[in-house]
């Protein structure tokens, strides 16, 4: 007995039902299988299960991994919505539609594509000692409908996108040789989860066909454990254990059940007192409930100390051990207290990301624990503690890894019931969601990390509120181990009052329709809610593609979308600007996330956020919204340490009234603390300093040591700074940290002189149109400053804000803004008196918010403006905000930003004008590139018609949606 128990503690225990059988045997089914494609759906009628299939594949694996399927063409019937079909019709895109390798902008391109039935077959030999045993076929993750035959006998059909397909072969599989045939079908049939659901869509993992993960036959005796569920009770220091015991014998059996719980991953070891109970099981299914006291010194699970237990259950009768099961669980209480979540009685704030099932090397989610640990630890290094799985449920390995790392998970039913599907209208999807979430709870319900559950994402359906209300109440009554919400939704979706917590998009976005400040929060958006409110898909700020990333796609998906964008940029004469665009837009993206997240942390009553996302989303038109790429790797413009300054369990916050000040202003900066750490802070001292870009300290100080409770909006104090001695434009940095800790944060702000010298010079002609005098001066070799704000025609269709593109302009059909900041050279003499980064930053708001840009498509290819706005990568238009050029014999500088009006209230514009005038008056003003005068005039040509044209409002015939939600 001791030897058996010792082996149990050592054994890996990660399978759901039917795992770790005491007397069980297993037959590994991994390896070579025979194979056939059934694209015409003839296989069942023609009884392919009774013939020997001729082709071969390796399993586990997908058809794509085995090089099976069809070449990708313009006629490929994708599983996914294409909101912007202009690529199919735009003449400029014609070359990308031609040849054997079309380049689609919508998502990554699989090397092969196939939707339909496929047959997998192999011979098996059932050992003689399996006689009179229960036998199961275990297929961990097929995609996604399976039908199974043993020889010529059909066993059954299963359809789950979330859990293993397990077939009971008892009485249907005698000892000796047999043929096992599995038909896998990845077509959407009566059960339509929605073609954009991340469980099936080509936007993310791809609608692959195959079987991955564990594949095996296993045995049990006639008395066996079919299910074990553990319900921890931290307050009462116990675990309730509910066991389902199956008795396949004709008579009642009796015996003993041993329950042993022991911690296995914490520095401190702990074991509950073993419990042995008598049982009597009648024929059929028997349910037993036991209480296991955990003792006074039991270990709890949370994000800081994710202590776990292994529960071993052994069923014995007088004949010996009948069945053994090992279950992993954690002692944790994930609860709600008002508008906050709590873990084991301590308030927590969910700092989450949306995981979209993007794994481009394989196209499906990893099936091993190590890969998921790597993902979760990466996210945790960026200060996150929470994952939402968008319209899909990850495999069991993800739950095991999240348990080990300490991550709070919200898996979802595998549905985005929209775009061809709906919820609550009586379609098969309604029952399927209940069935699937039940399967999820049974398979993964013991994992401590499984804390939350939603039906899925943003459904369609006029009766969705009624349906989701029933869904929530069903789960509240059935399983108290987690909290439930109807759906993860944006603001246009109806409110479901029954939600235990809300996931809606109200408290998100940047309030940069007005002068940026650090004082704003989202309090108005959440103040009327009495349950926890999680921000839905915070962020979504884009970065320009990183073309160096293309070489990473060495697997089964090719970055042809990136190749298209790169080639188009080259055709526009900007091949050498790709890296600059990427880095400059990346810096602005990071700034945008910092400002939005700090608003979330300053928000009273907020329960957390789910950003979209920490890593890129490669579909829906290519949404490059991540600080990490699709491989969960750094892009180069921010690292974990930098990100964690403004996204962590403890964050120092300020409420800057604004970020641009004049020399004669008195600056007051309130400081507060966000703290959701493992415990309250005792006698903590926050120190601060203000430094310039050279590292010179302008002012420093510290606040009195204070105890800080767990929560946010914890007052620290005010910093008072009088920059009267700063007599030139400066960028400054406020740094704050908690003494003796790694907690630190910093904020950039700018101080400009209160007064500036008058640099108006007769040498420079300033005008707002190319009038006769300007032309004469240029002809004579003079200098002209053309203030073109509000006058630009060529480029007027480009909408330029400070904040970058949201999600992408393709998915939202050119919804503004259209740009991703700008790039410039801070060392350019034009900025001698105007300190700037090489990228957009908040001090530029006054100059770039809803400012016209110039379309420079008639300028010489490769022309580089002084300030170049970065266009959406779907169009790659050459743009300019400040340009300089030789025009005839003269020298011209054009600025489409307003730097001349209301300068008494616009200090940034005044400072830039001063710097530009200073530059133009110097010998440094000597443009090297020549531009024809007529090309300059064309910028103001009122006959210009914007050249953006979708060429169609329709979709290609093969992509149209029929009434049943299916593609033709």
First to last CA, the chain: 62
In 445-556, alpha helices (H): 464-478, 523-526
Q: What percent of the chain has pLDDT over 90?
A: 92
Mean pLDDT throughout 811-818?
Answer: 88
* CA-angle at 34, arms to 32 and 39, nearest 5°: 130
| Cα-based distances in Å from 305 to 205, 337, 406, 407 | 32, 22, 7, 11
CB-side neighbour CA atoms (13 Å) of 760: 4
Strand 650-654 and strand 165-168: pairing? Answer: unpaired
Determine the Cα–Cα distance for residues 793 and 770; give it in Å rounded to an integer.
14
Tens digit of each residue's pLDDT (9 = 90 or more) over 358-401: 999 999 999 999 999 999 999 999 999 999 999 999 999 999 99
**pTM of the complete model:** 0.94
pLDDT (0 to 100) of residue 417: 97
Tens digit of each residue's pLDDT (9 = 90 or more) over 697-745: 999 999 999 999 999 999 999 999 999 999 999 999 999 999 999 999 9
Tens digit of each residue's pLDDT (9 = 90 or more) over 286-307: 999 999 999 999 999 999 999 9
The b-or-e profile of 834-856 (16+ CB within 10 A means b, else e) is: bbbbbbbbbbbbbbbbebbbbbb
Residue 680 pLDDT level (bands cut at 50, 70, 90): very high
The three state secondary structure string of 585-649 is HHHHHHHHHHHHHHHHHHCCCCCEEEEECCECECCCCCECCCCECCCCCECCCCCHHHHHCCCCC
Mean pLDDT throughout 403-428?
Answer: 97
Mean pLDDT throughout 950-956?
Answer: 66
CB-side neighbour CA atoms (13 Å) of 462: 0
pLDDT (0 to 100) of residue 761: 79
Q: What percent of the chain has pLDDT over 70?
A: 96
pLDDT (0 to 100) of residue 242: 98
User: Given a cut of 60, is residue 423 above it in pLDDT?
Assistant: yes
Determine the Cα–Cα distance for residues 877 and 865; give it in Å rounded to an integer.
13
Q: What is the token pair recorded at 288?
A: 């037993």
pLDDT (0 to 100) of residue 613: 92
Residue 823, classed as helix, strand or coil, is: strand
Tens digit of each residue's pLDDT (9 = 90 or more) over 820-842: 999 999 999 999 999 999 999 99
Altogether, the residues listed in the chain come to a count of 968
pLDDT (0 to 100) of residue 168: 97
Residue 2, classed as helix, strand or coil, is: helix
Determine the Cα–Cα distance for residues 779 and 800; give it in Å rounded to an integer.
33
Tens digit of each residue's pLDDT (9 = 90 or more) over 688-699: 999 999 999 999
pLDDT (0 to 100) of residue 956: 57
DSSP 106-171: SS-EESSB--SEEEEEEEEEE-GGGTT-EEEEEEEEEESEEEEEETTEEEEEEE-SSS-EEEE-TT
User: Given a cut of 90, is residue 335 above it in pLDDT?
Assistant: yes
Tens digit of each residue's pLDDT (9 = 90 or more) over 41-96: 999 999 999 999 999 999 999 999 999 999 999 999 999 998 888 899 999 999 99
Determine the Cα–Cα distance for residues 801 and 483; give it in Å rounded to an integer.
39
pLDDT (0 to 100) of residue 961: 46
Determine the Cα–Cα distance for residues 421 and 432; give it in Å rounded to an integer.
13
Residue 814, classed as helix, strand or coil, is: coil
User: Given a cut of 50, is residue 758 above it in pLDDT?
Assistant: yes
Average pLDDT, the chain: 94
User: Given a cut of 90, is residue 952 above it in pLDDT?
Assistant: no
Q: What is the token pair recorded at 187?
A: 């077509």
pLDDT (0 to 100) of residue 254: 96
pLDDT (0 to 100) of residue 9: 35
pLDDT (0 to 100) of residue 8: 34
Tens digit of each residue's pLDDT (9 = 90 or more) over 113-135: 999 999 999 999 999 999 989 99
Q: What is the token pair recorded at 628?
A: 């990490």
User: Given a cut of 90, is residue 164 above it in pLDDT?
Assistant: yes
Residue 11 pLDDT level (bands cut at 50, 70, 90): very low
Q: What is the token pair recorded at 531?
A: 């349950």
pLDDT (0 to 100) of residue 964: 40
pLDDT (0 to 100) of residue 291: 98
Residue 963 pLDDT level (bands cut at 50, 70, 90): very low
pLDDT (0 to 100) of residue 161: 98
pLDDT (0 to 100) of residue 69: 97
pLDDT (0 to 100) of residue 954: 65
Residue 505 pLDDT level (bands cut at 50, 70, 90): very high
pLDDT (0 to 100) of residue 960: 52
Determine the Cα–Cα distance for residues 425 and 300; give it in Å rounded to an integer.
43
Mean pLDDT throughout 795-810?
Answer: 94
8-state DSSP, 715? E
pLDDT (0 to 100) of residue 760: 73
Mean pLDDT throughout 13-39?
Answer: 72
Residue 477 pLDDT level (bands cut at 50, 70, 90): very high
Tens digit of each residue's pLDDT (9 = 90 or more) over 844-860: 999 999 999 999 999 99
Residue 811 pLDDT level (bands cut at 50, 70, 90): confident
């Amino acid at each position: 007995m001791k030897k058996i128990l010792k082996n149990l503690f050592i054994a890996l225990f990660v399978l759901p039902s039917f795992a770790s059988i005491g007397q069980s045997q297993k037959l590994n089914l991994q390896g070579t299988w025979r194979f056939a494609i059934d694209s015409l759906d003839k296989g069942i009628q023609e009884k392919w299960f009774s013939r020997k299939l001729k082709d071969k594949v390796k399993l586990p694996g997908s058809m794509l991994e085995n090089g099976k399927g069809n070449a990708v063409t313009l006629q490929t019937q994708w599983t996914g919505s294409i909101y912007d079909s202009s690529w199919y019709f735009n003449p400029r895109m014609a070359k990308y539609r031609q040849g054997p390798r079309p380049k689609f902008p919508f998502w990554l391109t699989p090397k092969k594509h196939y939707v339909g039935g496929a047959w997998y077959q192999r011979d098996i030999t059932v050992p003689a000692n399996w006689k009179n045993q229960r036998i199961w076929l275990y297929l961990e993750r097929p995609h996604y409908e399976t039908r199974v035959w043993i020889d010529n006998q059909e066993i059954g059909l299963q359809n789950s996108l979330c859990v293993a397909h397990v077939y009971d072969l008892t009485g249907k599989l005698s000892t000796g040789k047999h043929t096992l045939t599995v038909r896998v079908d990845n077509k959407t049939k009566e059960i339509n989860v929605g073609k954009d659901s991340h469980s099936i869509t080509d936007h993310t993992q791809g609608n692959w066909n195959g079987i991955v993960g564990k594949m095996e036959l296993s045995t049990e005796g006639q008395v066996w454990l079919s299910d074990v569920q553990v319900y921890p009770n931290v307050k009462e220091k116990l675990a309730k254990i509910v066991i389902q015991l199956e008795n396949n014998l004709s008579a009642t059996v009796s015996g003993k059940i041993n329950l042993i719980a022991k911690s296995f991953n914490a520095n401190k070891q702990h074991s509950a007192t073993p419990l042995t109970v008598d049982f009597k099981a009648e024929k059929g299914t028997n349910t037993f409930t036991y209480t296991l006291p955990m003792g006074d010194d039991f270990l709890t699970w949370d994000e800081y100390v994710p202590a776990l237990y292994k529960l071993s259950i052994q069923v014995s009768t007088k004949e010996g051990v009948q069945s053994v099961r090992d279950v992993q669980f954690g002692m944790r209480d994930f609860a709600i207290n008002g508008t906050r979540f709590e873990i084991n009685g301590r308030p927590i704030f969910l700092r989450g990301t949306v995981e979209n099932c993007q794994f481009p090397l394989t196209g499906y989610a990893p099936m091993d624990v190590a890969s998921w640990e790597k993902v979760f630890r990466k996210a945790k290094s960026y200060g996150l503690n929470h994952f939402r799985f968008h319209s899909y449920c990850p495999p069991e390995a993800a739950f095991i890894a999240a348990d080990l790392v300490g991550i709070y998970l919200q898996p979802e039913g595998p549905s985005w019931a929209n775009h061809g599907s709906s919820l609550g209208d009586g379609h098969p999807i309604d029952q399927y969601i209940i069935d699937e979430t039940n399967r999820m709870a049974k398979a993964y319900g013991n994992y401590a990390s499984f804390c939350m559950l939603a039906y899925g994402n943003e459904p369609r359906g006029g009766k969705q509120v009624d349906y989701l209300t029933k869904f929530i109440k069903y789960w509240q009554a059935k399983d108290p181990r987690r909290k439930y919400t109807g759906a993860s939704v944006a603001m246009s979706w109806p409110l479901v009052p029954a939600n235990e917590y809300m996931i809606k998009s109200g408290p998100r976005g940047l309030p940069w329709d007005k002068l940026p400040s650090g004082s704003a929060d989202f309090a108005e958006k959440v103040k009327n809610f009495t349950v926890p409110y999680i921000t839905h898909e915070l962020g979504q700020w884009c970065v320009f593609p990183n073309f160096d990333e293309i070489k990473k796609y060495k697997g089964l998906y090719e970055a042809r979308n990136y190749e298209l964008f790169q080639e188009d940029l080259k055709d526009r004469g900007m091949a050498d600007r790709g890296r600059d665009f990427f880095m400059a837009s990346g810096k602005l993206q990071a700034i945008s996330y910092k400002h939005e997240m700090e608003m979330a942390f300053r928000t009273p009553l907020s329960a957390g956020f789910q950003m979209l996302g920490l890593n890129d989303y490669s579909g829906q038109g290519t949404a490059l919204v991540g600080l990490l790429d699709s491989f969960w790797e750094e892009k180069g413009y921010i690292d974990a340490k930098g990100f964690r300054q403004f996204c962590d369990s403890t964050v120092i916050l300020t409420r800057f009234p604004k970020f641009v000040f004049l020399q004669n202003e008195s600056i007051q900066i309130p400081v507060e603390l966000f703290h959701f750490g493992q415990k309250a802070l005792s006698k903590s001292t926050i120190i601060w300093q203000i430094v310039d870009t050279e590292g010179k300290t302008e002012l420093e100080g510290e606040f009195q040591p204070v105890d800080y409770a767990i929560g946010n909006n914890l007052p620290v104090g005010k910093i008072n700074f009088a920059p009267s001695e700063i007599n030139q434009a400066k960028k400054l940095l406020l740094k704050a940290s908690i003494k003796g800790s790694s907690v630190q944060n910093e904020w950039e702000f700018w101080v400009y002189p209160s007064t500036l010298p008058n640099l108006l010079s007769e040498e420079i002609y300033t005008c707002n149109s190319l009038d006769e005098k300007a032309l004469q001066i240029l002809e004579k070799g003079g200098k002209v400053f053309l203030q073109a704000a509000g006058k630009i025609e060529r480029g007027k269709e480009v909408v330029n804000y400070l904040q970058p593109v949201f999600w992408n302009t393709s998915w939202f059909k050119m919804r503004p803004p259209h740009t991703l900041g700008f790039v410039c050279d801070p060392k350019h003499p034009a900025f001698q008196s105007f300190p700037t980064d090489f990228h957009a930053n908040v001090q530029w708001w006054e100059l770039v918010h809803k400012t016209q840009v110039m379309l420079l498509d008639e300028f010489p290819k490769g022309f580089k403006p002084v300030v170049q706005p970065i266009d959406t990568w779907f169009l790659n238009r050459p743009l300019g905000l400040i340009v300089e050029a030789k025009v005839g014999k003269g020298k011209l500088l054009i600025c489409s930003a307003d730097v001349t009006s209301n300068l008494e209230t616009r200090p940034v514009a005044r400072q830039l004008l001063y710097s530009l005038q200073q530059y133009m008056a110097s010998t440094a003003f000597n443009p090297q590139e020549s531009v024809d005068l007529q090309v300059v005039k064309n910028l103001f040509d009122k006959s210009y018609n914007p050249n953006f044209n979708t060429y169609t409002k329709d979709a290609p015939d093969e992509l149209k949606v029929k009434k049943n939600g299916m593609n033709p």
